[in-house]
C-alpha cells in the first residue's frame, strides 16, 4: 500500500494528521514528501497544499489567538525567540504590532541567545506550529482554518488502459502518460498547477524506473538520476536554486557515504 493510500483510508483524520506532519517536519523532508505525493496523486496533494501553514501564517492569526498560544505554554517565549533569532532589526520591529504585550519578554530572551543554528530554529518553528494545531483541535483557538476536500478525493482512482490525462480542479493538466492493466507504464510527465513541467520519467508496473528529471517551478533543473523499483539508485545530481550542484550516490534509496 502506498503512502497516500494509507492516509486516504483514514479519511479526514488521516488528511489532517498528514498536513500537520508536513508542517512540522524539516524543509528537506517536506520537499521529498511533496514530490513523492504529487507524483502519486496530484489532485490529493493539491488539496493538502491548501492547508499547509508556516510560522509567518501564525503571525497573521488574530491577536487573541497569538496570545493564547504564548500564554498557555511554559517555554513558548523562548521557542518564539528562537524562531525570530535571525530576523533583521527592521523585521523584528513588526512584532510591535503583532505581539506588543509580550514583545519585551521576547527581546529579553533574544538578548540571552548567542547563537541559534538553522536546525534549532527549524525545530522551534515546528514546535510552535504543533502547539497551534493542538490548541486548535481542542478548540481553544480558531487557529488555522481547515479547507477540507470533498469525500471523493479519498476514493481509489482507476483508469482504463491506454493514454491518460489527469487534470487539476482548475482544468490545468496535472499528469499524462499510459496505463496498462491498471498500472502506470512507459513515459509520464507531471506538472505544477501553473502548467510548468514538474517531473518526467518512466514507470514499470506503477514503479518509477530508469532516469527521472525533476524541475523547479521556474523551469530550472532540480534533480536527475535513476530509480530502481521506485527507489533512488546510483548517482543523483541535485541542483540548488542558485545553480549549485550536489552529487549523491544511492543504493536502493539509501544514501551512500
- pLDDT per residue as tens digits for the range 211-231: 999 999 999 999 999 999 999
- pLDDT per residue as tens digits for the range 18-34: 999 999 998 888 988 99
User: Does position 11 have pLDDT exceeding 60, yes or no?
Assistant: yes
Would you say 159 and 33 are in contact if contact means Cβ atoms under 8 Å apart?
no
Count of Cβ atoms closer than 10 Å to residue 202 Cβ? 17
Q: Which domains does the chain have, with CATH numbers?
A: 55-137 (1.10.220), 158-257 (3.90.930.1)
User: Does position 199 have pLDDT exceeding 70, yes or no?
Assistant: yes
Q: How far apart are the first and last CA of the chain?
A: 30
User: How would you class 114 by CB atoms within 10 Å of its CB: exposed for 0-12, middle for 13-18, buried for 19 or more?
Assistant: exposed
Backbone angles phi, psi at 115, to 5 degrees: -165, 140
User: Does position 74 have pLDDT exceeding 70, yes or no?
Assistant: no
* Residue 235 per-residue DSSP state: E
Q: What whole-number percentage of the chain has pLDDT above 90? A: 74
Q: What mean pLDDT do residues 149-157 have? A: 92
Q: Which of 74, 41, 27, 39 is nearest to 197 (CA)?
A: 39
**Opening angle at CA 115, ends 110 and 121, nearest 5:** 80
Q: What mean pLDDT do residues 124-146 have? A: 92
Q: What mean pLDDT do residues 92-110 have? A: 89
Q: Which of 56, 114, 58 is nearest to 82 (CA)?
A: 114
User: Does position 73 have pLDDT exceeding 70, yes or no?
Assistant: no
* CA 173 – CA 156 distance, rounded (Å): 20
User: Does position 185 have pLDDT exceeding 70, yes or no?
Assistant: yes
User: Does position 158 have pLDDT exceeding 70, yes or no?
Assistant: yes
| Model pLDDT, residue 241 | 85
| Model pLDDT, residue 190 | 97
CA dihedral sign of residues 30, 36, 38, 43? negative
Would you say 224 and 236 are in contact if contact means Cβ atoms under 8 Å apart?
yes
* CA 247 – CA 167 distance, rounded (Å): 34
User: Does position 101 have pLDDT exceeding 90, yes or no?
Assistant: no
| Model pLDDT, residue 172 | 95
| Model pLDDT, residue 72 | 66
List of residues 6+ apart from 173 with CB closer than 8 A: 165, 166, 167, 191, 195
| Model pLDDT, residue 252 | 73
Query: Considering the chain, what is the average pLDDT of its residues?
Result: 92
pTM value is 0.86
Would you say 172 and 197 are in contact if contact means Cβ atoms under 8 Å apart?
no
* CA 162 – CA 177 distance, rounded (Å): 8
| Model pLDDT, residue 27 | 87
Counted residue by residue, the chain has a size of 257
Rg (C-alpha) for the chain, rounded Å, is 21
| Model pLDDT, residue 1 | 56
Amino acid at each position: 500500500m502506498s503512502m497516500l493510500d494509507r492516509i486516504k483510508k483514514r479519511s479526514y483524520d488521516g488528511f489532517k494528521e498528514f498536513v500537520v506532519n508536513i508542517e512540522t517536519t524539516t524543509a528537506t523532508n517536506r520537499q521529498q514528501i511533496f514530490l513523492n505525493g504529487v507524483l502519486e496523486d496530484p489532485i490529493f496533494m493539491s488539496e493538502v497544499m491548501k492547508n499547509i501553514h508556516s510560522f509567518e501564517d501564525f503571525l497573521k492569526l488574530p491577536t487573541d489567538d497569538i496570545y493564547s498560544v504564548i500564554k498557555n505554554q511554559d517555554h513558548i517565549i523562548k521557542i518564539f525567540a528562537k524562531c525570530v533569532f535571525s530576523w533583521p532589526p527592521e523585521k523584528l520591529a513588526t512584532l510591535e504590532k503583532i505581539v506588543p504585550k509580550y514583545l519585551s519578554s521576547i527581546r529579553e530572551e533574544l538578548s540571552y541567545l548567542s547563537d541559534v543554528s538553522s536546525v534549532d530554529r527549524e525545530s522551534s518553528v515546528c514546535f510552535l506550529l504543533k502547539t497551534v494545531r493542538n490548541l486548535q483541535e481542542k478548540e481553544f483557538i480558531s487557529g488555522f482554518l481547515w479547507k477540507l476536500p470533498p469525500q471523493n478525493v479519498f476514493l481509489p482512482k482507476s483508469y482504463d488502459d491506454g493514454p491518460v490525462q489527469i487534470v487539476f480542479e482548475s482544468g490545468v493538466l496535472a499528469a499524462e502518460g499510459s496505463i496498462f492493466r491498471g498500472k502506470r507504464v512507459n513515459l509520464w510527465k507531471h506538472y505544477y498547477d501553473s502548467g510548468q513541467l514538474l517531473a518526467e520519467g518512466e514507470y514499470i508496473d506503477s514503479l518509477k524506473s530508469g532516469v527521472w528529471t525533476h524541475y523547479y517551478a521556474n523551469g530550472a533543473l532540480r534533480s536527475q538520476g535513476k530509480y530502481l523499483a521506485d527507489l533512488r539508485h546510483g548517482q543523483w545530481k541535485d541542483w540548488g536554486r542558485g545553480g549549485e550542484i550536489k552529487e549523491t550516490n544511492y543504493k536502493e534509496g539509501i544514501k551512500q557515504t
